[in-house]
Amino acid sequence: MTLTKVHLINSVHNHLGMPKHKSIQLVGSILEIIKTTLENGEDVLISGFGKLCVKEKKERRSRNPATGDDMILDRRWVVPFKCSPVLKEKVNGKRSTPGMKD
C-alpha cells in the first residue's frame, strides 16, 4: 500500500485527536513548507527520517530504448532522497523482501 496525503491526514486526525479540518491544514502546511524550501534550492533534513536534496543533472547523451536512436536529455533538477541510518535500520530490521531467502 502507498501512503497518501489522505492517509497522513487521517493518521494525524486519529493519533492526535485533532479535528479533521485542522489535520488537513497541518499536513498541507508541512508539505507546502517542504515544497517551498526545495523550490528555493535548499535541502530538507528531517532527523530520524532522511534528507531531500536538490541536485542538478547536466545535459547528457542517452538512447531511446524503444527505437535505439541517440538523443540528448536536457539539463534538469532532481530531488533525491537519502534515508537516515535510523530509518534504514528500522526498515531492514522489520521487513523481508519477497522472493529473497533469509
Residue 63 has pLDDT above 90, yes or no: yes
In a domain, 18, yes or no: yes
pLDDT at 93: 86
For residue range 79-89, list pLDDT tens digits in order.
Answer: 999 999 999 99
Number of domains in the chain: 2
pTM: 0.75
Question: Which residues, including other chains, have CB under 8 Å from residue 42's CB and lie 6 or more apart?
Answer: 54
In a domain, 96, yes or no: no
CA pair distance 78, 38, nearest whole angstrom:
10
Average pLDDT, stretch 73-95? 91
Amino acid letter, residue 82 = K
Nearest alpha-carbon partner for 43 in 51, 81, 17:
51
Query: Which parts of the chain fold into alpha helices (H)?
Result: 5-16, 20-39, 85-94
Residue 47 belongs to domain spanning: 43-89
Amino acid letter, residue 89 = E
Same domain, 12 and 34: yes
Nine cell digits for residue 41? 534550492
For residue range 4-28, list pLDDT tens digits in order.
Answer: 999 999 999 999 999 999 999 999 9
Same domain, 50 and 63: yes
